[in-house]
Amino acid sequence: MRRYRFEIDNVRAHVRSLWAVIAIQATVIAGLWFGWSQAPERLTVHIPPDLRSGAVLAVGEVPPPNVYAFAFYIFQQLNRWPEDGASDYGRAVFQVSPYLTPRYRADLIAELEHKGRQGELAYRVRGMQPIPGHGYEERRVDVLSAHAWIVWLDVDLLESVKGMTVKRTAIRYPLRVVRYAVDLETNPWGLALDGFGAEGPRRLTDAELNEGGGADDGA
Q: Is 44 contained in some domain?
A: no
Query: Does residue 152 lie within any of the structural domains?
Result: yes
- Host domain of residue 85: 64-211
CB-hemisphere CA count at 13 Å for 37? Answer: 6
Q: How many domains does the chain have?
A: 1
Who has greater pLDDT, 21 or 219?
A: 21
The 3-class secondary structure across 128-161, one letter per residue, is EEECCCCCCCHHHEEEEECCEEEEEEEEEEEEEE
CATH code at position 86: 3.10.450.230
Residue 133 lies in a domain: yes
Tens digit of each residue's pLDDT (9 = 90 or more) over 103-125: 999 999 999 999 999 999 999 99
Q: Is 92 part of any domain?
A: yes
- Give tens-digit pLDDT for 128-186: 999 998 988 889 999 999 899 999 999 999 999 998 999 999 999 999 999 998 888 89
pLDDT, tens only, 24-81: 888 888 777 766 666 555 555 555 555 444 555 565 678 899 999 999 999 999 999 9
Q: Is residue 113 part of a domain?
A: yes
Question: Model pTM greater than 0.75?
Answer: no
Which distant-in-sequence residues (6+ apart) come within 8 Å of 59 by Cβ?
A: 43, 44, 45
Kindly state whether residue 49 falls inside one of the protein's structural domains. Answer: no
